[in-house]
Amino acid sequence: MAKVIEKTIPTSPPVRKPTVKKSFSMNDYKKKVNAEDIPDKPLEWIKISDALESVTGLPGFPKGYVSTCPGFSNTGKSTAIALGIVNAQKMGLLPIIIDCENNLSKYRLSQMGFDWDGDYITIDNEYLLEKFGKPSDKNREQASIEDLANCIRFFLKEQEIGNLPRELAFAIDSIGTLNCNKTIAARAKSSTDGTENSDKDNNMWNALAYEKEFLYLFNDVIPNSRKINSEFTNTVMGVQKIGRDNINNVITMKGGRIWEYTPRLQYYFGGVLTKGVKRITATSKKREVAYGVEVKVQVLKNHIDGPLGGLSMDGKIISVPQGFILPDKLDEYKKENILFFRNLFGENIDIEDIEDGVKVDEKGEE
């Protein structure tokens, strides 16, 4: 029987539908890979004083930044921080005052307008030691750099989990006061066993501790609070100690390089190699009282992102118990604060009874 061969009739190839070109959105892609551009909130400033703004061109401390006030002792640094504390409270921020030197006067804060019945938190070295130091080392007798960092992290965490729903303004007085755990331990060992430990005053340990504990905190955590997706904006302002390197004849800032590079704004008070201040005095009936200091202040560093960023001005200012005034405003200041001068001299004096004076104080560190 013959085999039947079936022929396949060729058909035309199937018609392919045209490929629809996908639209591409860079914004959608950034969302997909979590690389969105998150803008900052509008910049706000914690006011210091009209006098300081007149001299430097800047209103005070910018919210969401780390700012410091370096300089020799008795040059107005603590005045700036105290005014920052007072005005932060008036703006509704929660001041967290970390006083490492027991140097911030409650009376002076009251003179500047601080409300002790309002909201604030004060921290001293005993609190740092008991809450953050002793839990890890029950034998330690001094608060440390690590305790200071853990304290700041603690309150930021309290804010994050909802226990402290407030914008925070940390005020540190002062940077360079505390030692690190390693230095404290070395000194304690040297004191206990009577051996001479050449490393017990190793400043590099402190500098490394500051860098380890504060680098991420100040480079990332605080600045990220400026973003619009952050509910609260947090601020750090600190008094910074300085020292003199007599070998190289230069000034060094306490706290190591981390406190030199991470602050975005620095007001420098006083001279470079000396305090360079003038003591302002008042004399009544042959009794002389020094009540203020005239000092040069300059914007040492300004990396603020805004219209005032990069601005650097300097001039002279007078630090008095109530804040800052300009040198040409002394007469107005005395009239407005005549009760202060009457209490100062213990007499019912008038402005005409006060004789002004100035004394040059060219000493370095006190």
Mean per-residue pLDDT, 308-325 = 95
Q: Which two tokens stand for residue 25?
A: 């959105």
Cβ pair 294, 281 in contact under 8 A: no
pLDDT digits (tens, 9 = 90+) for 174-203: 898 999 999 999 988 876 665 555 555 577
pLDDT at 264 over 80: yes
**Is residue 289 predicted with pLDDT exceeding 60?**
yes
Beta-sheet pairing, 287-302 with 265-269: antiparallel
**Which has more confidence, 332 or 198?**
332
- Going from N- to C-terminal start, the domains of the chain cover 43-273+297-302
With b for 16 or more beta-carbon neighbours within 10 A and e for fewer, the 165-175 pattern comes to ebbbbbbbbbb
Contact 44, 62 (CB under 8 A): yes
In CATH, 43-273+297-302 is 3.40.50.300: yes
For 300, which DSSP code?
E
* pLDDT digits 0-9 by tens, 225-235: 999 999 999 99
Q: Which residues contact 28 (CB under 8 A, 6 or more apart)?
A: none
Which residues on adjacent β-strands are paired with residue 299? 267
The model scores a pTM over 0.85: yes
Q: Percent of the chain beyond pLDDT 90? A: 65
Residue 362 has pLDDT above 60, yes or no: no
Sign of CA dihedral 58, 61, 63, 65: positive
Q: Given this model, what pLDDT does residue 42 score?
A: 96
